[in-house]
Amino acid sequence: SLGKKHKFWETQPVGQFKDVGDTSLPEGPIEPPTPLSEVKQEPYNLPSPYEWTTCDLDSEETCNEVYNLLKNNYVEDDENMFRFNYSKEFLRWALRPPGYYKSWHIGVRAKTSKKLVAFITGVPARIRVRDEVVKMAEINFLCVHKKLRSKRLAPVMIKEVTRRVHLENIWQAAYTAGVVLPTPITTCQYWHRSLNPKKLIDVGFSRLGPRMTMSRTIKLYKLPDQPATPGFRKMELRDVPAVTRLLRNYLSQFVVSPDFDENDVEHWLLPTEDVVDSYLVESPKTHDITDFCSFYTLPSSILGNQNYSILKAAYSYYNVSTKTPLLQLMNDALIVAKKKDFDVFNALDVMHNKSFLKELKFGPGDGQLHYYLYNYRIRNALRTSELGLVLL
Ligand SMILES: CCCCCCCCCCCCCC(=O)CSCCNC(=O)CCNC(=O)[C@H](O)C(C)(C)COP(=O)(O)OP(=O)(O)OC[C@H]1O[C@@H](n2cnc3c(N)ncnc32)[C@H](O)[C@@H]1OP(=O)(O)O
Ligand SMILES: CN(C)Cc1n[nH]c2ccc(-c3ccc(F)cc3OCCn3ccnc3)cc12
């Protein structure tokens, strides 16, 4: 279309808007791998006042710098009322999965002050697309300090992380964004389930419904004190093999999903305090593990409210139902999240989530999350129910 030009993205091996609907283009890699000897050996040039740095998250000091850069400059909602406040332990979890590369934790510093002013990361992942398992980089935490915006720093950072991923002989990537870029493989809606409606209304996250009083609203979102499902319990290390089998089988039905092995499941799904919570249903009779649900902890800073500074949000992660109805399983997830003092439980309309959102009193969010693959063409955009991938 004659719309806005993507000067950088039109140079990249991604689906281009002009090609949408061209079914003659084959599904799969857009460009072949480059011989490693031909990959640019030295980093891309930054504007002169800036220099590259590799952020070692094992270092308390560097992890603090990354935390503060994101806390003050990362993603805000459309009304600039909230900003993601990823915790340090969350960042260490998200960025150090099995096989991670420190060199993919890329920062930009001002040469004189040595201040961290920008950041971008990749982590390795095996992503299945239909029946192909592809080694990819999951790109995330792209952030440029508010004072350095609109200077075309983002394209340089993207090219640099691409170069470092190429050096590890990986040629595809997956990422999500709230903005439309060439070209989404699917576009999700996000939904919110109030757990603490009084606080959500006080901070302006929600509004009192028409003909609703506050006490009626509190009553509407009230939840039981305990989960309903017999055998519902926290996941433990001993459950990793069974949860891996359950999850691999469940995810095999989606067009795009992670190809998790036991090491991945142990990292991504074993409960970690204030980072990720996972529960399963162990049949009291057979001791089989029949169902699984999980959510991660991602608070948002509340910008400009006298009474509250943090919104405690849980985000639906991976859920598997084979015996317990998904509706009941997710209601139990809401119950334990409320018990853990979360204010809101968020979910995307991916996988089978649409089947419970309305019935469990989720309300639609005010934005969308677009999913992207780099250097991999998908012939037709996917339905959100064909997507089995959740990025942090
Ligand atoms: C084989 C491996 C491959 C690995 C790499 C794969 C690709 C990975 C791609 C990265 C995935 C990250 C995923 C992720 O982290 C999750 S999405 C969250 C991104 N971060 C934020 O929204 C934080 C707040 N915003 C900022 O820090 C800045 O606004 C950023 C840094 C976003 C842009 O900085 P800026 O100062 O506002 O802008 P300029 O420097 O002047 O640059 C303008 C150009 O940047 C394009 N742009 C804007 N937002 C983007 C976004 N979210 N993805 C990709 N591209 C984005 C834009 O279209 C334009 O290009 P165009 O002219 O062609 O349109
Ligand atoms: C996914 N990951 C890459 C972070 C990320 N980047 N860009 C985004 C845009 C929306 C969502 C999102 C995903 C699920 C959800 F239930 C609510 C969301 O945003 C609400 C609006 N908001 C933004 C900040 N505080 C509140 C995440 C992201």
Starting from the CA of residue 81, give the closest ligand: 2
Query: What pLDDT does 201 receive?
Result: 97
CA distance 2 to 16: 13
Average pLDDT of the residues of the chain: 97
Starting from the CA of residue 69, give the closest ligand: 1
Which residue, by CA, sits nearest to atom 19 of ligand 1?
142
Starting from the CA of residue 171, give the closest ligand: 1
ipTM over 0.85? The verdict is: yes
Query: What pLDDT does 2 receive?
Result: 60
CA distance 391 to 176: 7
Per residue in 219-262, pLDDT (tens digit) is 999 999 999 999 999 999 999 999 999 999 999 999 999 999 99
Per residue in 264-279, pLDDT (tens digit) is 999 999 999 999 999 9
Query: What pLDDT does 260 receive?
Result: 98
Per residue in 334-375, pLDDT (tens digit) is 999 999 999 999 999 999 999 999 999 999 999 999 999 999
Q: To test the ligand 2 pocket, which listed residue (75, 194, 195, 366) has its Cβ within 8 A of the most ligand atoms?
A: 75
Q: Which has the closest alpha carbon to 184: 365, 6, 366?
A: 6
Is the Cβ–Cβ distance between 139 and 177 less than 8 Å? no
Ligand 2 binding pocket includes 76 (Cβ within 6 Å): yes
**For residue 304, what pLDDT band results from cuts at 50, 70 and 90?**
confident
Ligand 2 binding pocket includes 203 (Cβ within 6 Å): no
Three-state secondary structure along the chain?
CCCCCCCCHHHCCCCCHHHCCCCCCCCECCCCCCCHHHCCCCCCCCCCCEEEEECCCCCHHHHHHHHHHHHHHCCECCCCCEEECCCHHHHHHHHCCCCCCHHHEEEEEECCCCCEEEEEEEEEEEEEECCEEEEEEEEEEEEECHHHCCCCHHHHHHHHHHHHHHCCCCCEEEEEECCCCCCCCEEEEEEEEECCHHHHHHCCCCCCCCCCCHHHHHHHCCCCCCCCCCCEEECCHHHHHHHHHHHHHHHCCCCEEECCCHHHHHHHHCCECCCEEEEEEECCCCCCEEEEEEEEECCEEECCCCCCCEECEEEECCCEECCCCHHHHHHHHHHHHHHCCCCEEEEECCCCCHHHHCCCCCEEEEEEEEEEEECCECCCCCCHHHECCCCC
Ligand 2 binding pocket includes 75 (Cβ within 6 Å): yes
Is the pLDDT assigned to residue 1 strictly greater than 90? no
CA distance 227 to 331: 8
**For residue 21, what pLDDT band results from cuts at 50, 70 and 90?**
confident
In the chain, the largest separation of any two C-alpha atoms, in whole Å, equals 68
CA distance 240 to 262: 6
Query: What pLDDT does 32 receive?
Result: 98
Query: What pLDDT does 3 receive?
Result: 67
Question: What is the arithmetic mean of pLDDT over 21-40?
Answer: 96
**Catalytic-residue membership of 392:** yes
Ligand 2 binding pocket includes 300 (Cβ within 6 Å): yes
Per residue in 85-113, pLDDT (tens digit) is 999 999 999 999 999 999 999 999 999 99
For residue 144, the CA-to-ligand 1 centroid distance in Å is 9
Per residue in 67-91, pLDDT (tens digit) is 999 999 999 999 999 999 999 999 9
Within 6 A (CB) of ligand 1 lie 6-9, 73-75, 137, 139-144, 149-155, 158, 161-162, 165, 170-173, 175-177, 179, 181, 374-375
Is the pLDDT assigned to residue 198 strictly greater than 90? yes
Per residue in 123-168, pLDDT (tens digit) is 999 999 999 999 999 999 999 999 999 999 999 999 999 999 999 9
Is the Cβ–Cβ distance between 173 and 165 less than 8 Å? yes
Ligand 2 binding pocket includes 365 (Cβ within 6 Å): yes
